[in-house]
């Protein structure tokens, strides 16, 4: 019994209750993994259960690996025989042995996402469906949702009422037929086919029911319908099923997770015992009190209240700013101050936000402040595909000598210019010593181009049209024109997946970045904008080591914990989103509130929530109220600081309404962006007629120098890119 001595009373009860169904409601930071591993040890050492009769399932390979290591550390004998695995890995092992019973060969292939896309493209081609209307990824997303609900092609077809649904049913049927022909399964099929096997072959099901007499499922709130059925079938004989989860942390509905699995556990297993783990070992009591108050506003939940023996701790810090710039500047400055004055390390901090697009301002501020950071669950804002694609268009308009940019967009969106044609154009460019774009302009003279000639001409005509408009269109107008005429966002909208929506949000953020640049620049030009972006994007990545601030979405933060957490963008319209507020579906709002609860409970020592009174969205300024989730925290738990704006606008929750936006809450003066000042040199080392070098544009001759009040404006004729005007302090020209 020494293994259980370190556990609290509820944890010990959960470990020792081994017979029959058990639901462990494990609040955030309550030590659920310790309970699971100690329970395995107790079954083996005290109840003399054979290790191979125990199955423990979790969701990720990382979680399974951690559980395996903990089991190995506390179980003296037979730990290696305990089946510790993910859902998908468990199903693969079962199917490798018995899938021939349902018509497949045992050496089936498992298709990854790219393989599935290739099959789907072939299916769409065979059915003569327009790929511009029927996107491969959108079709795969619909089919995946159906499989998560255990809806097979025949049932999907029976239930299809609308014409679009009937088309999806047709695609679904053909897609599955092609997979079976190829003796292949996609990821969703691994679970679907295992359930099919269990239902069709009672002998096989009985074998695994005997094998796994004691089953434990982690993160049960994240299970979908097919996973639930897999578990139900396995446990239906002995009913020694222990599920561990927290309905208050069910945040993956968009992936198919069904919160009803955990809320309705006792209906499926009426004899189930329920044990609540409410003692938290992570956070201060004030943080837990705030989390409790927020989540108590949800109706669809099992009542529980986190508490701790830790100290009371700091109040929740709430700060409201005029805009996103001030918000990012405050958070980055606060982190810097704590590192300087309180002995903190950068790895003690995390910034959490609702969407990846919100990271951009923080990235720029961190780079300016020389603070190391790392994005989790995403890439650097300027390294994301959709951002690189659109910047490549702007670079091509600005400087068609950039072969990399031109080659990136020659087929974005798809224009039917094949790899062989591109290869011939590249060869012509090399032979003639010209740029790739100039070679495209000479496509008439390139042998073998053939049917692609018209497509190349359409592309170059589009670029030439944009270049002719650069002189009188602003950068934002130019970018909007590119987005509209290429149909880039329309393609993503048609795809209608979670990833596509995230990409659209990032494009909206790029438009906001352009609008910010045009407002703050003394003279806004396309070249100036691209140079500003390049200076941010090209800074060396963080050195090796773990001491950096982490930035991530709230979804990515689940399962993690930090000493100091900042939750940014806490506004109605951002978090929760406008669609969630106005959509009329209370379950959507409750899921958003659970996401907020997850964010709050990531913090160990301090939690800071921030909002902006006005924020740039899609290049337009929007005015949002402080998030209702912030206003659900009692006033006595919140530190509003000395900021009068923050204190004045902290109030009880009220309904979202755009008509109220320009009211009293926004009576303060509009924020004026901080000017970026330069120190004017007393004189320049070069003069008109001198040859100079620029770090980006190369070698050129100085044509003119005009002395202004703030800086010298220098005009240079560069050999490679032509005439450019720039301020001397930024240009950093070197005389040759």
Is 500 labelled as part of a ligand binding site? no
Contact 294, 629 (CB under 8 A): yes
31 is in an annotated binding site: yes
Token readout for 566 is 């900042």
Alpha-carbon distance values, 446 to 40, 428, 452, 520 (Å): 71, 7, 11, 46
Q: Which of 33, 170, 279, 497 is catalytic?
A: 33
Q: Which residues pair with 57 in a beta bridge?
A: 85, 217
- Concerning whether 33 is annotated as a catalytic residue, the answer is yes
Helix axes 113-126, 136-148, angle to 10 degrees: 110
Please indicate if the annotation marks 29 as binding a ligand.
Answer: yes
Closest CA to 400 of 389, 412, 388, 392: 392
Q: Which of 10, 136, 186, 218 is catalytic?
A: 218
CA angle 567, 379, 406 (to 5 degrees): 135
How crowded is residue 450: how many other Cβ atoms within 10 Å of its Cβ? 12
Q: Take residue 651 and report the two structure tokens written for it.
A: 């109030």
For residue 277, the SS3 value is strand
- What is the C-alpha separation between 71 and 80, in angstroms, rounded? 9
Q: Is 590 part of the annotated catalytic residue set?
A: no
Asked if 557 contacts 598 with a C-beta cutoff of 8 angstroms, the reply is yes
Angle at 495 between CA 490 and CA 501, to 5 degrees: 80
**Strand ranges, E, within 578-694:** 603-612, 614-617, 620-623, 638-639, 691-694
Closest CA to 317 of 32, 686, 150, 565: 565
Residue for token digits 């639901």? 23
**Residues 633, 650: Cα–Cα separation, whole Å:** 10
Distant-in-sequence, close-in-space partners of 82: CB < 8 Å, separation ≥ 6: 40, 44, 51, 52, 54, 55, 56, 71, 75
Dist CA 294 CA 291 (whole Å): 5
How many whole angstroms separate alpha carbon 263 and alpha carbon 23? 10
Catalytic residue among 10, 136, 174, 219: 219
Tell me, yes or no, if 213 is annotated catalytic: no
Q: Specify whether 308 is catalytic.
A: no
Contact 310, 284 (CB under 8 A): yes
32 is annotated as contributing to ligand binding: yes
Query: Collapsing DSSP states into helix, strand and coil, what is residue 448?
Result: coil
3-state secondary structure of 101: helix
Q: Which of 11, 249, 358, 610 is catalytic?
A: 249
What is the C-alpha to C-alpha distance for residues 413 and 135, in angstroms, rounded to an integer? 13
Q: Kindly report the number of other CB atoms within 10 A of residue 167's CB atom.
A: 16
Residue with tokens 């993956």: 252
Q: Is 305 a catalytic residue?
A: no
Pairing status of strand 54-58 against strand 349-353: unpaired
CA 381, 385, 391, 395: dihedral to nearest 10 degrees? 130
How do beta strands 241-245 and 22-26 pair?
A: parallel
Classified as helix, coil or strand, 229 is helix
Any alpha helices (H) in 373-434, and if so which ranges?
Answer: 385-398, 403-409, 419-432
Residue among 558, 593, 602, 605 flagged as catalytic: 602
> Whats the size of the chain, residue-wise?
736
Between the alpha carbon of residue 361 and those of residues 394, 516, 670, the distances in Å are 21, 11, 19
Q: Would residue 34 show up in a list of annotated catalytic residues for this protein?
A: no
Handedness of CA 416, 419, 420, 421 (dihedral sign): positive
Q: Is 422 left (phi over 0), alpha (psi -120 to 50) or beta?
A: alpha
Residue with tokens 């086919």: 193
Annotated binding residues: 26-33
Annotated binding residues for ATP: 26-33
Q: Annotated catalytic sites, by residue?
A: 32-33, 218-219, 249, 602
């Amino acid at each position: 019994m020494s293994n259980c001595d370190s556990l609290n009373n509820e944890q010990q009860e959960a470990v020792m209750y081994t017979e029959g169904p058990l639901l462990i409601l494990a609040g955030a930071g309550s030590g659920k993994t310790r309970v699971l591993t100690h329970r395995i040890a107790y079954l083996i050492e005290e109840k003399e259960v054979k290790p191979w009769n125990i199955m423990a399932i979790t969701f990720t390979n990382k979680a399974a690996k951690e559980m395996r290591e903990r089991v190995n550390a506390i179980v003296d004998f037979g730990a290696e025989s305990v089946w510790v695995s993910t859902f998908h890995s468990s199903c693969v092992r079962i199917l490798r042995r018995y899938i021939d019973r349902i018509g497949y060969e045992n050496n089936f292939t498992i298709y990854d996402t790219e393989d599935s896309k290739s099959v789907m493209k072939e299916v769409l081609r065979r059915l003569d469906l327009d790929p511009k209307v029927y996107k491969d990824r959108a079709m795969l997303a619909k089919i995946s949702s159906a499989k998560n609900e255990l809806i097979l092609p025949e049932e999907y077809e029976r239930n299809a009422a609308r014409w679009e649904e009937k088309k999806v049913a047709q695609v679904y049927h053909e897609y599955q037929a092609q997979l079976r022909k190829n003796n292949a399964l996609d990821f969703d099929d691994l679970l679907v086919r295992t359930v099919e096997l269990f239902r069709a072959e009672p002998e096989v099901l009985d074998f695994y029911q005997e094998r796994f007499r004691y089953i434990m499922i982690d993160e049960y709130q994240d299970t979908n319908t097919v996973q639930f059925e897999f578990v139900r079938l396995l446990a239906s004989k002995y009913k020694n099923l222990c599920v561990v989860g927290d309905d208050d942390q069910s945040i993956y509905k968009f992936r198919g997770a069904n919160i009803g699995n955990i809320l309705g556990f006792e209906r499926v297993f009426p004899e189930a015992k329920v044990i609540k783990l409410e003692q938290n070992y992570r956070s201060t009591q004030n943080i837990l009190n705030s989390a409790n108050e927020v989540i108590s506003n949800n109706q669809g939940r099992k009542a529980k209240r986190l508490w701790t023996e830790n100290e009371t701790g700091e109040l929740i810090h709430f700060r409201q700013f005029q805009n996103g710039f001030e918000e990012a500047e405050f958070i980055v400055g606060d982190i810097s101050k704590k590192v300087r004055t309180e002995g903190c390390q950068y790895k003690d901090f995390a910034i959490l936000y609702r969407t990846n697009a919100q990271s951009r301002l923080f990235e720029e501020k961190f780079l300016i402040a020389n603070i190391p950071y790392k994005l989790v669950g995403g890439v650097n804002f300027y390294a994301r595909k959709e951002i690189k694609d659109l910047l490549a268009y702007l670079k091509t308009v600005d400087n068609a000598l950039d072969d990399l940019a031109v080659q990136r967009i020659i087929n974005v969106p798809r224009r039917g210019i094949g790899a062989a044609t591109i290869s011939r154009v590249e060869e012509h460019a090399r032979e003639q010593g010209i740029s790739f774009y100039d070679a495209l302009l000479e496509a008439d003279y390139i042998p073998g181009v053939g049917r692609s000639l018209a497509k190349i001409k359409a592309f170059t005509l589009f670029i030439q049209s944009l270049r002719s408009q650069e002189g009188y269109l602003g950068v934002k107008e130019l970018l909007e024109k590119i987005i509209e005429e290429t149909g880039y966002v329309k393609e993503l909208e048609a795809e209608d997946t979670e990833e596509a929506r995230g990409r659209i949000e990032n494009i909206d953020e790029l438009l906001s970045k352009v609008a910010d640049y045009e407002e703050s620049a003394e003279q806004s030009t396309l070249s100036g904008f691209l140079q500003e972006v390049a200076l941010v994007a090209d800074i060396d990545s963080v050195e090796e080591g773990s001491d950096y601030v982490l930035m991530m979405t709230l979804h990515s933060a689940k399962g993690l914990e930090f000493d100091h957490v900042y939750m940014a963008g806490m506004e109605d319209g951002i978090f929760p989103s406008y669609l969630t507020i106005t959509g009329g579906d209370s379950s959507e709002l409750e899921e958003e509130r659970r996401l907020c609860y997850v964010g709050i409970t990531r913090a160990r020592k301090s939690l800071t929530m921030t909002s902006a009174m006005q924020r740039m969205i899609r290049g337009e300024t929007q005015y949002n109220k402080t998030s209702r989730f912030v206003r659900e925290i009692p006033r006595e738990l919140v530190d509003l600081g000395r900021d009068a704006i923050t204190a004045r606008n902290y109030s009880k929750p009220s309904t979202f309404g755009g008509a109220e936006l320009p009211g009293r809450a926004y009576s303060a003066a509009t924020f004026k962006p901080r000017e970026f000042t330069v120190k004017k040199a007393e004189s320049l080392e070069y003069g008109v007629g001198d040859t100079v070098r620029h770090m980006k544009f190369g070698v050129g001759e100085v044509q003119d120098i005009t002395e202004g009040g703030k800086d010298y404006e220098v005009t240079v004729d560069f050999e490679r890119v032509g005439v450019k005007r720039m301020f001397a302090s930024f240009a950093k020209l070197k005389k040759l």
